[in-house]
Structure 1
Amino acid sequence: MAVQTRYHLRRATLDDLSSVVGWPQTPTELRYLFPRAQWPAEPLKLLEHLANHEEGFVVCDSERILGYASLYNPKPQGRAWIGHLIVNPRARRMGVARYLVTALTTIAQERYRAKEMATICFANNQGAYDFYTTLGFQNEGWETRIDHRSEPLKVFRLTKSLPTPT
């Protein structure tokens, strides 16, 4: 008997991205997703930014798009990065982000033979930090990013070693 999942992953389309750019609900959420974006969001600028990521993926159920993230800068036999992870506000706390990170990790391992996954997490985004550490990511250190007001933002580099495929 085949196990049915309620979610599936596919590459993001421009139509998908048009929906995704409307998901940030507050200036803080927008800042976490796009540090250089101003509130209120300018959908065309955000859409252009996301469209430049070759490896953008969405998680869907049978009716709607539930989450988005990009897999970027994958180095064969090295590190692959997860970026711009966001979940549709109506689908939060339903396992979508976990499904997305797991799926991107599988893609990174199978396609690039990645040995490590990485992401950045804003220092004041405790929920995201806790989420990633629950999935086995560890704090590798921090760096400074600049937001749209040219103000510095502290971000943590989180990494997770991947098992070597047999």
Structure 2
Amino acid sequence: MFSHRAAASQDFNEIAKFPQDARELFFMYPKGVYPLTADQLEKAASTRIRPTVVLHGDHVAGYCNIIEVIEDSSWLGNFIVNPSYRGMGAGKYLIEAMKEVAKSELQVNRFRLLCHSTNTDALLFYTKLGFKPFDSNIQTDNEGKPIVGIKMEVTL
């Protein structure tokens, strides 16, 4: 049903439409400016590892990348699913694909991410996929309010 490939320049116009509001953009890309543009995304992707899209036929159903590798861990970044494909397995497929990249290509033992405490849907999603909290820090959201950044990981 789903497949994945490296993100291409032409994908970023479509991906930029995925965040439905400034808050959703903050969850996906805290440094992004709403409304998100293809240029913002492509610039961020140029500094990341394996920018990847999940496809349903010819349609981009999701996007993410790996921010960095630190010791034996890789960090997921810019994860977002096309609103038309939420709840249909695209997100799970994309996470599993990136875990395989982390394990096989990057040869790390842990796959990590940071999820904001106000993003309950994402916390539930990542927990269902086996991610466990291992640390937290206080951050500021896109409205200047304090929130908790919850660092989560899964062993590969």
Q: What TM-score, normalized to structure 1?
A: 0.84
Q: Does 1:86 align with 2:85?
A: no
Q: Give the counterpart of 1:127 among 121, 126, 147.
A: 121
Q: 1:124 to 1:116 in 2, by over 3 A?
A: same
Contact 1:68 1:87 in 2 (8 A): yes
How far residue 66 of structure 1 moved from its aligned partner, in angstroms, is 0.5
Within the alignment, does 1:36 sit opposite 2:31 as a pair? Answer: yes
Q: Could you list the runs of 5+ residues in structure 1 that have no partner in the other structure? A: 1-5
Other structure's SS at 1:23 match:
coil
**1:44 aligned partner, one-letter code:** D
Task: Give the TM-score of the pair, scaled to structure 2.
Answer: 0.89
Query: Are 2:68 and 1:68 aligned?
Result: no
Match of 2:16 in 1: 21
Q: Does structure 2 retain, via aligned residues, the 8 Å contact 1:17–1:51?
A: no
Distance 2:70 2:33 in 1: 32
SS at match of 2:45: helix
Structure 1 match to 2:105? 111
Distance 1:47 1:150 in 2: 26
Partner Cα distance (2:37, 2:145) in 1 = 20
Aligned equivalents of 1:87, 1:161: Cα separation in 2: 23
C-alpha change, 1:47 and 1:149, in structure 2 (3 Å) is: farther
Superposition deviation, residue 148 in structure 1: 5.6
Name which one, 1 or 2, has greater alpha-carbon Rg: 1
Number of residues paired by the alignment?
156
User: Is the CA contact (8 Å cut-off) linking 2:4 and 2:54 kept in structure 1?
Assistant: yes
Q: CA deviation at 1:154?
A: 2.1
Deviation at 1:36, TM superposition (A): 2.7
Aligned to 1:100: 94
Deviations 1:96-141 (A, max 9, x none): 0100000110111111221111000001101101111111110112
Identical-pair percentage: 25
Structure with the higher strand share, 1 or 2 = 2
Q: Are the equivalent residues in 2 in contact too, given 1:138–1:158 (CA < 8 A)?
A: yes
Return the match for 2:151 from 147, 152, 157: 157
CA deviations 1:64-104 (Å, max 9, x no partner) are 1100010231346x111111110111111110010000011
Structure 2 unaligned runs (5+)? Answer: none
RMSD: 1.9
